[in-house]
Structure 1
């Protein structure tokens, strides 16, 4: 028995010194192998596991993981008894919400639908005393998932038709809580808002497209909006989609709107734009003017060429009709005429008058009633003159008149009419009915060589066979003065 005990003691004395010498050797070899290397020293597997387990519990001024439990504790403490259904200061004072906008993209503006698209970042700031806390954190930034746990103003856009909130890759919302209770809520959205366009001066028109917002349920006695010194950021470097318009500035107003549910404070921004004139000029004004001037070519075509002049006149009228319809194709159905409509209508009148000028000339030339005369008197080489009866017979026949048939030396080589203007031979110069109409006898000379009576001297006589000559001057001059007056009025209004 004693020998067994001695053998056990001897074995223990051999094993224990060998185990105690192992760590000692590693500690001696450790510094010699890693003293010259910059970086963390290798650790044993058991020591590494222990360090990972104890690392989250460490706290220090430079340890971010050490502040995580503190931030969680603060959020839990302020949201523990927080009721997001009640506004701050309920029953005591109205909540003041400060608003700030950042315009990312403006446009396009739809003329046909009378609306425009705007992409904004909408910022609202208010104070909530229930969110005050003490700690080393100046503020907490929370993502959109925490918005439902806080009270948020129920702001809505009054003139919006469609509103889209951006949710890729996460909802574009942010909440920042400061230690003094200040809350900043930011959201990005795209709005299709209505814009009532007054097209009376189209295409020299300017518009102010509003963006109006207010609280949906809190009246002015409970919620007040105000601007942050009217701070509005406009990122014009972005690719704005105004196309036909130029951005000229922005204005704002604040008003109170009375509704059956109360008086609400309404904030409105006006984005001022003016139309670019180049596109409309080349699409409407230039074709209309050129078509009108093209209709005047018929004045230089002989009146015997009826098919050519008629085709040119009808083509001009139909072209103006097409241009008028095309200008209204992408246009709102307004009940008034615009400046462009008035211009096209006047051009249509000019083309129609050019066509009617030939119709009148053709009618008076070839369809006028002629007196009955012998065929011999109609020969172009014979100058026949109806002899005037004696003076006594003239008194007996007051309807007697002088009729002279002769060639026209001033009518481009064409034969003149067969009867001059009827002149009364009565002493009082009283004209008698018959033959040409009264206005024709008074003011219109129907032969190349026409001399009026004494009382007609000094009056304006129109030679119908020179109607084309008159039109070559009257139409261009009238159209020129119309354009001068039109552009002076439209550009100065």
Structure 2
């Protein structure tokens, strides 16, 4: 019984390994039977080697291909590989020469009150950098503003600028062009508010030269030298300039060296020459001032008895000239000197004031001087005619007073005044009266309505007080005319 059991176990152990081993051998042989149905990386690896060798060139093949078709990326990478943008070209050997060219896009407006002007320019600088030389078929590379930070550029600043704005829409308006011989062109667009000292002495016939000065901020003359590109200045779009009250005359340039604490710096200055347009100021200031002065002369044709009318006209003219003088200084810098316009308005003010004072003098001499203190009140000639029924009334002499009555006379130009017997004498104003005219009046003035004496008496010019309006009608216009002639000849020829 035991022997049978041992035989069964022995037979089972022999059969089982043969069954397990059979399928394993078939799985190994299966791929060899059908090689095309199963992907084997090892078997296909030799077939991929030729394709990988074709893609990856050798050093010799790379140089041959670059000689035929240069790659811009390879050239730029080789240029900036060992480039140090912190050091200027030719450091320690020679100064860097920077050539400048300016293109003016917009000029103006010019602010008189702030003494500054605005300018929109495209600023171009050119220099040579030997570290940027390359060989290839590309003549130059144009790089945008993002590459500027990787290059050395001059630290140019505008010496008389107040505010500077660099345009950055839609990208920073900067451009760098690198040539194969190492020439670098750097261009940037900016708007600058520049200070301009305006000399307003001849205002409004003034002309100005507004400077634009620039230099290096940190590199002295032995490091950087600026120079003009044969003084190239492009002026674009004259019709779009915002000069308004000015006309563009031309442009000049200077190159100078300024000594400072940090060293001697080369400074380039560009002068924009402008002249003021006269039309606007003429209609705003000169015409109103002249017309107001002429209006004040109307009082000379108004009777002296109309005191309210003449006084109102004179005061209105003076106040109008005061307002015009204040208005002309409204948008004007507070300079300490008198301009040509201020002088003209001041003279017009004097003419208006003199027209007002002429009536005051006439009224004082004709009415107050005719009635000395302590003398009887003058009576109207009509009342005297009714009382005495006589066309003329003679002067009455008292031992202590000299009284003149008023009479109507055709020879007095329908003017009223004291009638004295002294008018027939050679010295009409020397009649003795207490509190009478002063010594100067007695020498040069005639206070009687009909002075029959000669105008020149004993080398003195006698002025008829009662004809002061007649004199003013001629003297004021003639004097103002000669003043204008002299004024415009001086202002336009300076």
TM beyond 0.5: yes
Q: Which residue of 2 aligns with 1:72?
A: 73
Q: Which residue of 2 aligns with 1:242?
A: 243
Residues 409-457 of structure 1 show CA distances to partners (whole Å, capped at 9, x for unaligned) of 233434321546699999xx99978422112211111112235599934
Q: Which residue of 2 aligns with 1:163?
A: 164
Pick closer, same or farther for the CA change 1:374–1:476 going to 2, 3 Å: closer
Does 2:445 align with 1:444? yes
Q: Which residue of 1 aligns with 2:16?
A: none
Aligned counterparts of 1:376 and 1:324: Cα–Cα separation in 2: 47
Aligned counterparts of 2:292 and 2:456: Cα–Cα separation in 1: 43
Q: Which residue of 2 aligns with 1:35?
A: none
Pick closer, same or farther for the CA change 1:238–1:402 going to 2, 3 Å: closer
Give the CA RMSD over aligned residues: 3.4
Residues 119-158 of structure 1 show CA distances to partners (whole Å, capped at 9, x for unaligned) of 0000000000111111111111110000000000000000
Pick closer, same or farther for the CA change 1:93–1:402 going to 2, 3 Å: same
1:370 deviation in Å? 2.6
Matches within 5 A, 1:215-234: 215-234=216-235
Structure 1: 5+ residue stretches without partners: 1-11, 13-49, 390-396
Aligned counterparts of 2:471 and 2:352: Cα–Cα separation in 1: 16
Aligned counterparts of 1:90 and 1:472: Cα–Cα separation in 2: 82
Deviates more, 1:260-269 or 1:402-411: 402-411
> Is the 8 Å Cα contact of residues 250 and 271 (structure 1) preserved in structure 2?
yes
Pick closer, same or farther for the CA change 1:175–1:418 going to 2, 3 Å: same
Q: Which residue of 1 aligns with 2:392?
A: 383
Q: Per the alignment, in what secondary structure is the counterpart of residue 240 of structure 2?
A: coil
1:219 deviation in Å? 0.3
Aligned counterparts of 1:329 and 1:286: Cα–Cα separation in 2: 18
Pick closer, same or farther for the CA change 1:130–1:471 going to 2, 3 Å: same
Q: Which residue of 1 aligns with 2:311?
A: 310
Q: Per the alignment, in what secondary structure is the counterpart of residue 477 of structure 1?
A: helix
TM-score by length of 2: 0.80
Q: Which residue of 1 aligns with 2:38?
A: none
Structure 2: 5+ residue stretches without partners: 1-33, 35-50, 56-60
> Is the 8 Å Cα contact of residues 371 and 378 (structure 2) preserved in structure 1?
no
Pick closer, same or farther for the CA change 1:404–1:330 going to 2, 3 Å: closer
Pick closer, same or farther for the CA change 1:387–1:168 going to 2, 3 Å: closer
> Is the 8 Å Cα contact of residues 109 and 244 (structure 2) preserved in structure 1?
yes
Q: Which residue of 1 aligns with 2:262?
A: 261
Aligned counterparts of 1:162 and 1:366: Cα–Cα separation in 2: 68
Deviates more, 1:196-205 or 1:440-449: 440-449
Pick closer, same or farther for the CA change 1:387–1:270 going to 2, 3 Å: closer
Aligned counterparts of 1:172 and 1:140: Cα–Cα separation in 2: 17
- Asked which structure has the greater CA Rg, the reply is 2
Q: Which residue of 2 aligns with 1:98?
A: 99
Deviates more, 1:415-424 or 1:303-312: 415-424
Q: Which residue of 1 aligns with 2:331?
A: 330
Matches within 5 A, 1:41-56: none
Aligned counterparts of 2:380 and 2:269: Cα–Cα separation in 1: 87
Q: Per the alignment, in what secondary structure is the counterpart of residue 308 of structure 2?
A: helix
Q: Which residue of 2 aligns with 1:213?
A: 214
1:165 deviation in Å? 0.4
Q: For this pair of structures, how many residues does the alignment match? A: 431
> Is the 8 Å Cα contact of residues 421 and 436 (structure 1) preserved in structure 2?
no
> Is the 8 Å Cα contact of residues 378 and 405 (structure 2) preserved in structure 1?
no
> Is the 8 Å Cα contact of residues 97 and 126 (structure 1) preserved in structure 2?
yes
